[in-house]
Amino acid sequence: MIELTINGKKVSAPEGSTIMEAAKLAGISIPHLCHCPGIHTNGSCRICVVEIEGMKKLMASCIVKAQDGMVVHTSTERVRMARKIIYDLLISNHPRDCTFCSRNQSCELQQLGGTLGILETHIHGEQSPVRVDISPSITRDTKKCILCRRCVTACHEVQGVGAIFGQNRGFNTVIAPAMAMPLEKVDCAMCGQCTVVCPTGALTETDGMDRVWDALNDPTKRVVVQVAPAVRAALGEEFHMEPGVTVTGKMATALHDLGFDDVFDTNYGADLTIMEEGTELLQRLTAALNGGKAVLPMITSCSPGWIKHCEHAYPYQLPHLSSCKSPHTMLGAVIKSYYANKIGVDPKDMFVVSVMPCTAKKYEIQRPEMQNGGNYNVDAVLTTRELARMIRTMGIDFVNLEDGEFDAPLGFSTGAADIFGVTGGVMEAALRTVYELVTGRPLPGHNLHLMPIVGLDKIKTADITFENVKPEYSFLEGVTAKIAVTSGLKNADVLMDEVKAGTSPYTFIEVMGCPSGCINGGGQPRIKNNVPNYKELRLEALYNEDEGKQLRKSHENPDIIALYNEFLGEPCGHLSHELLHTTYTPRGHFNEYFQEHMQKEYATVMAGMYGEE
């Protein structure tokens, strides 16, 4: 520990702490802008400058290390004046359209002005050129960019994608893909982590609300909504509730109040995914152990950001992916077939909305693979943030809503579905079903949890040994399956490089595109600097949802059983494959070049590795 003095207070701090961190320990908040805990720290904006006795220059507190005996002043007249000048320069070429910006009242630049006591500005520069890039998932508005480079760090250092970076120099600098290409034309995964860390309206999710409002106001449409598991663990934060408070019942009530005809739960789709994915895993294991052709390890496919990244970075490894659609597109396909037939509505007159923690889902739903019978499985995706805006627009007092319920028959789910929202949850849910189907016994572990894969570690591994199996699975007796779980694309690359090299020891791998899984998705409420453990709180909320349910294994869901008995027949059967499974597109790092010049090579390699089929 070291001791220093900040604003006349004696402060003890761990050696290696920055001045900003030491000040926080003393209850002193230093204004900042580019600094984003756990993401980006390089002192580029200089808003956090402080005065240190013995030093001539003001120093950036987010990067300067605290020293034993140091005397620091965080709000002298000199410091306050410097911050105001820096702020004035930052907004000198910034648009003044705050009242109709999507980030109004949640913009960090706007809030900083209030913190610094800015009442007027004195510097008026030339406005930044307008460059708006609208992809299906993310909208870039460069005139609102303040060049803090948080998004660059999130894309390069956290996700390891590198789709955007600083172009040009000086006043001509712009954050953009190479050669100012649109995001949709480069290897952007559409994960939206850049939109989470952007302090202004320069990077936002592409608006999906207008289409949903239009559908709700169209009397010819039956508008159906479904909600992902991670949303219920974070939506409350948009209404000033503490992180980790589950709002499942309030959310169901709010969706009914918004006017949706049917309010279903993507958790039902998650249970359905486990039935299909678990069966697919058993089929691959059966083939591998009986001398047939099988591609192992099998890798989960429910994260569309991960899928797109894999198509770009690992096109020759696509056969390792499960062929299952993601849970919300599965449920969309069921809504527009099974449910439409049940209620006598033409699928083309149904409008399915998914509320997701994810921006990549917006890209996913417009993929040509995500349709059946000429109808897209899902018509619109709202992020958690967008749903909150719609609730506020309708004047709904969310905090004081009574708890409601999801509608039948596609609103009931087991606890296994809830944990889809956390990293490791899909793997655990799948193994709860697979292990019990093979052995007739519950998955061993603490309260059905496979503890080695619980938590937020970057890469988690475990071994599952099948013993005393049912007679029909005798070939699995004594077999140990090695499993791995990861989240975040940079961490996924570590496992995929092993798969690519042929050295992977794993049988089954779970990958979530966003760091920490869907609880930290690109469409979730933005990072709360004052609640550093918000991800742990959201994770705990979903595990509590799981443990609070009577049924906690997907194959025990009575409505899933009814779906197979009445409609689908069997998991991975003919109709299931038609509605619930998909294929992928090899893209390479620049998809247009790859598709034009390498499709034939890809087909040749695939045929050689995995056979003509």
Q: Which CATH number goes with the domain that contains 137?
A: 3.30.70.20
Q: Is there a catalytic annotation at residue 369? A: yes
**Domain-located, residue 102:** yes
Q: Rounded distance, CA 100 to CA 102, Å?
A: 6
Q: Which of 302, 310, 514, 572 is catalytic?
A: 302
Q: Which of 364, 386, 428, 510 is catalytic?
A: 364
Does residue 611 sit in the same domain as residue 527? no
**Domain total for the chain?**
4
Q: Is there a catalytic annotation at residue 547? A: no
Beta bridge partners of 482: 463
Q: List the single range of 172-186, 257-271, 285-299, 564-578 with lowest mean pLDDT.
A: 172-186
Q: Report the pLDDT value the prediction gives residue 613, as an integer from 0 to 100.
A: 47
Q: Rounded distance, CA 371 to CA 378, Å?
A: 8
Over the stretch 32-69, which tens digit does the pLDDT of each residue have?
999 988 888 888 899 999 999 999 999 999 999 999 99
Task: Work out the mean pLDDT of the chain and round it to a whole number.
Answer: 93
Q: For a pLDDT cut of 70, what percent of the chain falls above it? A: 95
Residue 257 belongs to what domain range? 222-580
Q: What is the pTM of this model?
A: 0.92
Q: Which of 361, 460, 535, 553 is catalytic?
A: 361
Position 130 pLDDT exceeds 80: no
| Helix, coil or strand: residue 564 | helix
What are the helix (H) ranges across 259-339?
266-289, 304-313, 327-334
Q: Report the pLDDT value the prediction gives residue 531, as an integer from 0 to 100.
A: 80
Over the stretch 495-521, which tens digit does the pLDDT of each residue have?
999 999 999 999 999 999 999 999 999
Does residue 407 sit in the same domain as residue 503? yes
**Domain-located, residue 211:** no
Using alpha carbons only, what angle is made at residue 101 by residues 95 and 103, rounded to the nearest 5 degrees? 110
Q: For a pLDDT cut of 90, what percent of the chain falls above it? A: 86
Tell me what the mean pLDDT of segment 485-500 comes to: 98
Q: Which of 3, 21, 184, 369 is catalytic?
A: 369
Q: Is there a catalytic annotation at residue 191? A: no
**Domain-located, residue 451:** yes
**Domain-located, residue 217:** no
Q: Which of 322, 337, 487, 554 is catalytic?
A: 322
What is the CB-side half-sphere exposure of residue 147 using CA atoms within 13 A?
18
Does residue 199 sit in the same domain as residue 286? no
Q: Is there a catalytic annotation at residue 280? A: yes
Q: Rounded distance, CA 238 to CA 251, Å?
A: 12
Over the stretch 338-364, which tens digit does the pLDDT of each residue have?
999 999 999 999 999 999 999 999 999
**Domain-located, residue 214:** no
Terminal-residue alpha carbon distance, the chain: 63
Does residue 135 sit in the same domain as residue 253? no
Does residue 190 sit in the same domain as residue 114? yes
Q: Report the pLDDT value the prediction gives residue 610, as an integer from 0 to 100.
A: 57
Q: Is there a catalytic annotation at residue 302? A: yes
Q: Report the pLDDT value the prediction gives residue 492, as an integer from 0 to 100.
A: 98
Does residue 243 sit in the same domain as residue 114? no
What are the helix (H) ranges across 458-557?
489-501, 534-547
Does residue 554 sit in the same domain as residue 470? yes
Does residue 490 sit in the same domain as residue 569? yes
Q: Which of 518, 553, 554, 576 is catalytic?
A: 518
**Domain-located, residue 212:** no
Q: Provide the Cα torsion 339, 345, 351, 354; round to 10°.
A: -10
Does residue 87 sit in the same domain as residue 102? no
Position 321 pLDDT exceeds 70: yes
Does residue 471 sit in the same domain as residue 607? no
What is the CB-side half-sphere exposure of residue 103 using CA atoms within 13 A?
24
Position 483 pLDDT exceeds 50: yes
Does residue 506 sit in the same domain as residue 555? yes
